[in-house]
Structure 1
Amino acid sequence: MRLVKASEMQEMDRRTIHDLGIPGVVLMENAGRGAAHTFLNHFGPKNGSRVLIVCGRGNNGGDGYVVARYLHEAGLKPTIMVLSQKEKIAGDALINLNIIHGMGLDIHYLPDEQAWEQHRSTLAHANYIVDAILGTGLNSPVRGYYARVIKDINETGKPVMAIDIPSGLHSDSGAVMGVAIKASLTVTFGLPKIGQVVFPGKDLVGRLVRIDICIPEAVAQSVPGQYRLTVPEDFKDLLVEDKEDIHKGHRGHLLILAGSPGKTGAATLAALGAVRAGAGLVTVVVPESLNPILEEKLTEAMTAPAPETS
């Protein structure tokens, strides 16, 4: 599975919007809709559950507005806290903010720490929290007002879904940039980011779900990248489905020459791996003095003692 740096994902977005002409608001709609559906499937909230959606002033907050709309339509009660004045929201985010305004959703503008303090009690009444504060472009430590908000959210112990990446986490390295959200669930858009699968970031992501926002495969392939995460799906095409009447004699006989004093584990793992991979018969040849040890360790593979020296 391919992993991307923040700059690579941003370039895919740019090419999709500017080269192909797919509007950014369409990608935002796809992202928010996918995130909302994942939220409902993961948490299984009761009808009328209160969801606090904390939004920054950028496109991460815009995704949060789309999530709010879908959760509202699903019968939940979203409250949206915007960590900015409305006048500073622009572009696709503003389009989606105006939509939920028109729907009459509960929206509060909290441009500073004093305003946050007046509404902080809302955290205690929420059943769930959505982190839509900071996205994958973060490259400096989180300080001041946003740091306070992140700490307050973490202290609630409530289930949190992070939009694209937990706020405060460096997308490329997985480093905590001062302070970061600890999420129960993270929905990431397009392709997974490196910082979501390496520590300490991996420990803050919770369950990671990739949302397809319909960036064409040709666009993704046109952006060079060198990082991959090995997952079980990478091997599915290498494994063949056996016929019902197959037996061990049909799958070959593998000979393993391995083992030395203090390192019988390597021979054991090689044999177990061969059996799991589908070899019909497996024989491990080891120095004669080690044969009793391997006979004790292995049940499916055979062993054969060999002279201690050639």
Structure 2
Amino acid sequence: MAAAWSLSIEHADRLRPTSLARPMLHLVALLNPNGIPATVLTSPPALAYLTEHRTPDGGTDPDVSPRAVGVDDATDALRCLHRLSLVDHTPSTPHQEVRVHNLVQRATREALPPAARDLAARTCADALYEAWPEVERDTALGQALRANTAALTAHAADALWQPDGHPVLFHTGNSLGHTGLVTAARAFFQDLHTAARQNLGPDHPDDLIFWRGRLGDTSGAATATAELLADFLQVLGPDHPDTLSTRHNLAPWRGEAGDAAGAATAFAELQADSLRVLGSDHPASLTTRYYLAQWRGQADGASGGVR
């Protein structure tokens, strides 16, 4: 079967646009077999990968332009794979335009050297992240992107932690939470927290604390953030942006845990340091100023003053 698919891939690679079917299949082989959004496979990271990894011996065709691969080229490559029954390309199916048998995926992955597979995996992660909208209004698209990230993680988890945890991993958990699946988000970040410690060490941050607080454990979130801040102070120092950001995260957890005055005091101290380190016009300084006023108002209200 692998030999038959190899012949099919070679034939697909000879169809116009030549030399793109094989590298496209490298990406498809690492994603969700039950449906890949076309926007992932036609995103800038995917197009850059196709441009860089066109099958070498296919470049002799005089009709092949040296220009960068475009969206139409990538779509035509999917059509070539569809014609040879290597993928099922149905543009009329929103967010699941590309489907592929998992045996085809396995044969493709096993033919890739480890370094090439890891590069394709990082490209898929970049493509998923690029395709993810900043404001997730389409729940079906979010679900499809999360499913594809899960498939990618299952096939090439190690590649997504080198040299650092890929942002798409954290974005997936946030997507769960912002969709309303807060319990699932917390469970996801618990697993991600374990993976981060295994791959990056104990001093690497994660978003588990945020969703812990959103589930109602504000005191626990405040304690965990305080512990994280202590680690950052030791590892990064007091003026590092991550340290300042962690202080910014700790203050409201204290307030939501019932210590509005403590939150106001923490923001006042943070504002002084933000002005010193970042300047008065930096967005973080302006944000800190806003929250300082907010928590001072709540502290006044809690103590019987004018809110």
Band of TM-score, shorter chain: under 0.3
TM-score scaled by length of structure 1: 0.27
Instruction: Specify which structure has the higher proportion of strand.
Output: 1
Q: Taking structure 2 as the reference length, what is the TM-score of the superposition?
A: 0.28
- Structure number with bigger Rg: 1
The structure with higher relative contact order (CA 8 Å, sep 6+) is 1
Which structure features the higher share of helix residues?
2
